[in-house]
Amino acid sequence: MAHHEMEPCELTVLCLVERGNEILLQYRQKGDWDGWVFPGGHVEPGESFLDACKREVEEETGLRIEKPELRGVKQFPVKGGRYIVFLYRTRTFEGVLRDSPEGENRWFFRDALPKDLVMDFDLMLEVIDDPLLTEFQYVLEDGKFKAHLG
């Protein structure tokens, strides 16, 4: 039997929360990934991805979401492993929207999104919205990272 080496992975979630034709975005300042993006964060050890999605959205926005659907996966290589983001979507929530130490939260109409979105926001939204897409992966080609949707 062939031996397969395990690859270290960092696991995270992001969730598109929809209210009619509006989507909830959070303004993050992370240094190399600044701008408006979906709320989310890291998966805790032993935690399910679904539970991480619900917990992160509530911690960061005050909203308690229900029935988040897994819509795709974003992944890219990092030093020594891989960074994986599970992309969710929900239209079911309750609670009062508030800001958090992670950033300001605001509803935006889909046709009036802010200009200062995180760099690959459009690709993540395309994977979440398109039922034929399930994956968004950065691959190193000719010394540069290229995005592949599938």
Unique residue bearing structure tokens 């994977």: 127
pLDDT, tens digit (0-9, with 9 covering 90-100), for 69-114 = 999 999 998 888 999 999 999 999 999 999 999 899 999 999 999 9
pLDDT, tens digit (0-9, with 9 covering 90-100), for 4-59 = 788 899 999 999 999 999 999 999 987 777 899 999 999 999 999 999 999 999 99
- Give CA separation, 15 vs 75, 76, 141, in Å: 15, 18, 29
The CATH number, out of the four listed (3.40.190.10, 1.10.240.10, 3.90.79.10, 3.30.70.3420), of the domain defined by the range 9-149: 3.90.79.10
CA 147 to chain centroid, in Å, comes to: 16
